[in-house]
Amino acid sequence: MKIVTVIPGDGIGPEVVESALRVLEALGTDLAPDVLDHVNAGTYRREGTALSEADFARIAASSATLLGAVGDPSLEHTDYVRSVLLRLRLGFDLYANYRPVRLWHDRLSPLRDAAHRGIDCAIVRENTEGLYSGVGGAVHPSSPWETAIDADVSTHHGVSRILDFAFSVARHRVCMVDKANAVRSGGSLWQRCWEAAAGRHPGVAASHLYIDAAAMRLVTDPGSFEVIVTNNSYGDILSDLAAALAGGIGLAPSASLNGTTGFGLFEPVHGTAPDIAGTGTANPLGAILSAALLLEHLGYDDEARAVRLAVGGAVAAGRVTPDLGGTLGTADATAAVLAAL
Amino acid sequence: MKIVTVIPGDGIGPEVVESALRVLEALGTDLAPDVLDHVNAGTYRREGTALSEADFARIAASSATLLGAVGDPSLEHTDYVRSVLLRLRLGFDLYANYRPVRLWHDRLSPLRDAAHRGIDCAIVRENTEGLYSGVGGAVHPSSPWETAIDADVSTHHGVSRILDFAFSVARHRVCMVDKANAVRSGGSLWQRCWEAAAGRHPGVAASHLYIDAAAMRLVTDPGSFEVIVTNNSYGDILSDLAAALAGGIGLAPSASLNGTTGFGLFEPVHGTAPDIAGTGTANPLGAILSAALLLEHLGYDDEARAVRLAVGGAVAAGRVTPDLGGTLGTADATAAVLAAL
Ligand SMILES: CC(C)[C@H](C(=O)O)[C@@H](O)C(=O)O
Ligand SMILES: CC(C)[C@H](C(=O)O)[C@@H](O)C(=O)O
C-alpha cells in the first residue's frame, strides 16, 4: 500500500481534489489517500501557519502528494502562499516542475490559423531557485526611501540538474529560454550550463530563445515546441500562457519532482478561483490529469493512460464544464470521466 | 530647429530607420536628424565599446533619439546590448517605457474568436530598475559552485513614478501586474505604492493581476485592458506578447521617456532580425510608428496623426511586408505610407 498525502487547500481546491480522488478510487489501485484538510487559509488565519512540522513529516513519509490549490484573497499581503506551496517545493527540493500542455481538442484552441493550433509540449520549470527562492528584503521599509531587493539566484548545481531533467523527458528537441542579453549574471551561467548539457545529450536538438521571443513564438507557432526549459519565473509565465493556448488553465496538470529522492507533488496549474468556489462549476480535469501524472510517476502506467483516454473522451464529447464550452458542473464532468474509464 | 539623434544600429535597424527618416523628411518639419551610424556591433568588436562619452553628450544635447535595433549574434555572450540600449535607458533615466499596442486590422489578429480580437492598450514598463538594473554578480565563477545573483530592485521612488505615469496616460483603467504572492519584497512595495497611486487618481479604475494570470488574460480577452503597468521584466514579456496578438512585433513602436527632463528615446519593439537583415523585407512600420510617437512627444501632434492615418491606410490596403501578409519589400511598404501621407 502506498500512501498519497492529499492537500485540498482553498477555493475550488477541495472540489477538484474530490474529483481526482474519485477517479483514483475507481481505478482500484493500492494507493491510500491521507487527507490533510486543515492545510488552508482558515488554519493560517487562526494559527499564523498552515503547514506544521508534523504535517511536513507526514508528507515526507508518504509516496507522493496531491494538492488542489492554495491561496486566499484576504491573505494576499501575507506569506501564506509561500508558507505552504513554496515551503513544499523548497523543503522537499522539488526542483523539476513538469507541466505538459496539450490541445485535447481543436475546438478548444483560441487560435485562428488551423495549421498552427496544435500544441503538445512540456514546460520544464526550475522550481527551487530563481526569483522565487525567497532570498531578499528591503531597506528603509515603509519610507519614501524604501528599496526592495529580490534575488534571482541561479546555481551551477540547480541549473545543470534542471537542464538534464529537460533533456531526459525530451524525445527530439529542447528549447532553453532565458534573458541573457539583459540579465547578465544568471544569463551567463544558464548559457554555459546549457552548452554543457546540450553536449551531454547529443541526440536531442537544442535551441534557444529569449523570453520575450518565446512568449511570441508560443502564440504564433506553438507546435514548434517540444520541451521548453527555463527558470522559475519564466516557467510560471510560459506555462500559464501555453495552457491558455490549449484551451485554458482548467485542463493543465503539473508535477513537482525531486529527481534524487523520487518524491513528487502533483497539482493543477490553476489557482483557487475564489470567484467560482462553491458554485460546483470548477473544471476538475486539471486535478484529474495531475492525478494521472502521479499515477505514472508511481509506476501505474496503464492506469495513467486509462485516465488520459477517459479525459480525452469526455472532452471530445463536450461533456465538460463551461470554461471548456460545456454545460456540466464539476460533479457531472467528473462522472463523464468516470463513465469513460 | 530641433535635433533628433538617430542610432540605426544593427541588422534590420538601419533599414527601418531609413524608412522612418524618409517619413519624417516628407512631413517637412524643422526636425534635423543627426545620425550616429557608428554605434553598432562592428564598432564594439573593434573598440570594445560602441557608445562613447562623446556620443552620449551628443545625444544629451539633442531633443530626442530614434533608434533602430541593437544586437548581434556573435556578441551574444558579451555586454554589447546592455552597453548601448541599457546604457541609454539607465543613463538618461528613461524610466517610462510606453508601448502602445493596437490591432490595426482585424485580418492581423491570430485569435479565432472575432468578438475577442480587438486590442487597443498600452504597456507601461518600468525601464530603469527591476531585474534589468544590472545589479548582480557571481561567486565561484566558472566552477561547479558558481552562484549567480541578479537583483530585482524596486524603489519607492521608481515604483511610484511609473505608477503615476501609467495613470497619467490612462483614460479609464489601469491594471497593475506583479507577482506579490511569490516575490515578496518587491511585491509588497509595488502593492503599497499601487494603493497609494490609485488613491491619487480616483477617476481611473485600478485593478490588479499576477503576471501569470495577465499573460493568460491577454490571450483570452485582450480587449479588457487599457493601460497595463508593470516592472521591467514583465513589461518586456507582456509587450511582446501583446504585439503578437496585434499582428506581430513588426508593427509595435515604443517610447522610453524621462518625465522630468522630457528626453525621449523612440524605437521599434522588434530586434535586429539577423535572419532577414539585408534582404530588404523588414517591416518598416514599427520604426515609422515610433517616429510618430517621437513627433507627438515633441509637440507635432498633427504630423503624428497623419503618420498613423497613413500607416492605417497602408495596412488596410494590404500594402505591407510579408510578416503582415503582404508582398511588399521595405522600400515599397515605406512608399505606400508616403503615398498615403
Ligand atoms: C534587447 C533587450 C535587452 C530589450 C529589452 O528586453 O529591454 C528588448 O527586448 C526590448 O524589449 O526592448
Ligand atoms: C501561487 C503561485 C505562487 C504559483 C507559482 O507561481 O509558483 C502558481 O502560480 C503556480 O504556477 O504554481
Q: Which residues in chain B have Cβ-Cβ distances shorter than 8 Å to A188?
A: 77, 138, 148
- Tell me the per-residue pLDDT of A235-268, one tens digit each, with 9 for 90 and over: 999 999 999 999 999 999 999 999 999 999 999 9
Is B104 part of any domain? Answer: no
Q: Do B129 and B35 share a structural domain?
A: no
**Residue range B134-140: mean pLDDT, rounded:** 96
CB pairs A-B closer than 8 Å:
215
Q: Is residue B8 part of a domain?
A: yes
Which residues of chain B neighbour A234 with C-beta distances below 8 Å? 237
Q: Are B180 and B257 part of one and the same domain?
A: no
Ligand having the closest approach to the CA of B236: 1
Q: For ligand 2, which residues put their CB under 6 angstroms from it?
A: A 71, 81, 85, 236, 269; B 181-182, 212
In a domain, residue A137? The reply is yes
**B:267-296 residues touching chain A, CB 8 A cutoff:** 271
Q: Which residues of A are catalytic?
A: 132, 179, 212, 236, 240
The reported pLDDT for the residue numbered A76 is: 87
For A185-199, the pLDDT digits (tens) are: 999 999 999 999 999
Whether A195 and A86 map to the same domain: the answer is no
Per-residue pLDDT, averaged over A207-233, amounts to 98
Asked if residue A10 and residue A66 are part of one domain, the reply reads yes
Residues whose CB falls within 8 Å of the CB of residue B315, separated by 6 or more in sequence, listed in order: B104, B105, B108, B251, B285, B324
Cell of B204: 481611473
Looking at the fold, whether A82 and A132 belong to one and the same domain comes out as: no
| A105 is a domain residue | no
Helix (H, G, I), strand (E, B) or coil at B60: helix
DSSP line for A232-244: HHHHHHHHHHHHH
Q: What is the CATH number of the domain that holds B26?
A: 3.40.718.10
pLDDT recorded at residue B77: 84
Does B102 map to a domain? no
Residues B214 and B122 in one domain: yes
pLDDT band, residue B285 (cuts 50/70/90): very high
Let me know: does A239 contact A123? Beta carbons within 8 Å: yes
- Mean pLDDT score of chain A: 97
Residue A69, C-alpha cell as written in the block: 490549490
pTM above 0.95, yes or no: yes
Residue B101 lies in a domain: no
Shared-domain flag, residues B130 and B169 = yes
Q: Which residues of B touch A183 (CB under 8 A)?
A: 131-132, 136, 150, 233
**What is the number of structural domains in chain A?**
2
Same domain for A62 and A15? yes
Q: What mean pLDDT comes out for the span B10-35?
A: 98
Which domain, by its residues, includes B125?
110-245
To test the contact with chain B by mutation, choose from A129, A132, A147 the residue with the greatest count of B C-beta atoms within 10 A, namely: A147
A252 phi/psi in degrees, rounded to 5? -95, 125
**pLDDT tens-digit map of B198-210:** 999 999 999 999 9
Domain assignment present for residue B131? The answer is yes
Q: Are strands B64-69 and B96-102 parallel, antiparallel or unpaired?
A: unpaired
Domain boundary among A223, A245, A267: A245
Sequence-ordered list of residues with C-beta below 8 angstroms from that of B305, at least 6 positions apart, any chain:
none
Phi, psi of A325 (to 5 degrees): 90, 5
Among residues B314, B316, B295, the alpha carbon closest in space to that of B304 is found at B295
Query: What was the pLDDT predicted at B101?
Result: 98
Q: Looking at the structure, tell me whether residues A151 and A231 fall in a common domain.
A: yes
Q: Determine phi and psi for B210, rounding to 5 degrees.
A: -75, 155
Q: What is the mean pLDDT of residues A213-237?
A: 98
Give residues with Cβ within 8 angstroms of B109, minimum separation 6. Answer: A112, B103, B117, B119, B245, B246, B247
Are B24 and B47 in the same domain?
yes
Which one of B76, B140, B164, B184 would you mutate to disrupt binding with A, by most A Cβ within 10 Å of its Cβ? B184
% of chain A surpassing 70 pLDDT: 100
Interval between CA A94 and ligand 2 midpoint (Å): 14
Q: What is the DSSP string of A206-236?
A: EEEEEHHHHHHHHHH-GGG-SEEEE-HHHHH
Task: Evaluate whether B11 touches B271 at the Cβ level (below 8 Å).
Answer: yes
- Identify whether residues A240 and A258 lie together within a single domain: no
Pair B177, B294 in one domain: no
The residue among B194, B225, B245 that closes a domain is B245
Residue B76: pLDDT above 90?
no
Is A166 contained in some domain? yes
Interchain contact, A215 vs B192, CB within 8 Å: no
Q: What is the rounded CA–CA span in Å between residue B134 and residue B119?
A: 33
Rounded to an integer, the average pLDDT of B311-337 is 98
Residue ending a domain, choose from A198, A227, A245? A245
Angle at A129 between CA A68 and CA B153, to 5 degrees: 110
Which amino acid appears at position B232 of this protein?
A: N
